[in-house]
């Protein structure tokens, strides 16, 4: 299993009212894109959240959060949240909200034209 399908459904429910959401296979899992920017995702059974660089350190102090480190070096602005950190719907909504907030702070990406 590349990612937790049940978690994907929970995230889809949170984002259901938005019309600017797309999904993309990324990082060996599933990413939810807002206006073309990665917002949150799932890798195996962990939540991946892209946050504003200025919020990174503060959010990293929350229970079950750790730096995202695919290459052995932490990626600033990206966090992994272990499953106990989003068991409650309110906790998942809060984490998705952090990812959404950051994605909405960025200008929309335009689709590139095929050459």
Q: pLDDT digit string (tens) for 83-93?
A: 999 999 999 99
Residue 8 and residue 51: Cα distance in Å, rounded? 19
Residue 101 and residue 25: Cα distance in Å, rounded? 21
Residue 110 lies inside a defined structural domain of this protein: no
Domain count, the chain: 1
Q: Within 10 A of 77 (CB to CB), how many other CB atoms are there?
A: 17
E strand or H helix that includes residue 13: helix 5-14
State yes or no: pLDDT of 1 exceeds 60: no
Residue 11 lies inside a defined structural domain of this protein: yes
- What is the per-residue pLDDT for 111? 66
Whole-model pTM: value is 0.90
Residue 114 lies inside a defined structural domain of this protein: no
- Structural domain including 11 reads 5-104
- What is the per-residue pLDDT for 75? 82
Residue 76 lies inside a defined structural domain of this protein: yes
Residue 83 lies inside a defined structural domain of this protein: yes
The mean pLDDT of the chain is: 92
- Report the CATH number that the domain containing residue 37 is assigned in CATH: 3.90.1150.30
Residue 35 lies inside a defined structural domain of this protein: yes
Residue 115 lies inside a defined structural domain of this protein: no
Token representation of residue 36: 């073309």
Residue 85 lies inside a defined structural domain of this protein: yes
Q: pLDDT digit string (tens) for 6-21?
A: 999 999 999 999 999 9
């Amino acid at each position: 299993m590349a990612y937790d399908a049940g978690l994907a459904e929970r995230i889809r429910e949170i984002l259901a009212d938005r019309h600017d959401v797309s999904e993309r296979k990324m990082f060996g899992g599933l990413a939810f894109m807002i206006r073309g920017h990665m917002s949150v995702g799932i890798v195996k059974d962990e939540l991946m959240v892209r946050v504003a660089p200025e919020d990174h350190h503060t959010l990293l102090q929350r229970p079950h959060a750790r730096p995202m480190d695919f290459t052995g070096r932490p990626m600033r602005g990206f966090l992994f949240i272990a499953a106990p950190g989003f068991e409650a719907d309110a906790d998942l909504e809060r984490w998705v909200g952090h990812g959404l907030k950051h994605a909405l702070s960025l200008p929309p990406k335009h689709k590139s034209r095929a050459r």
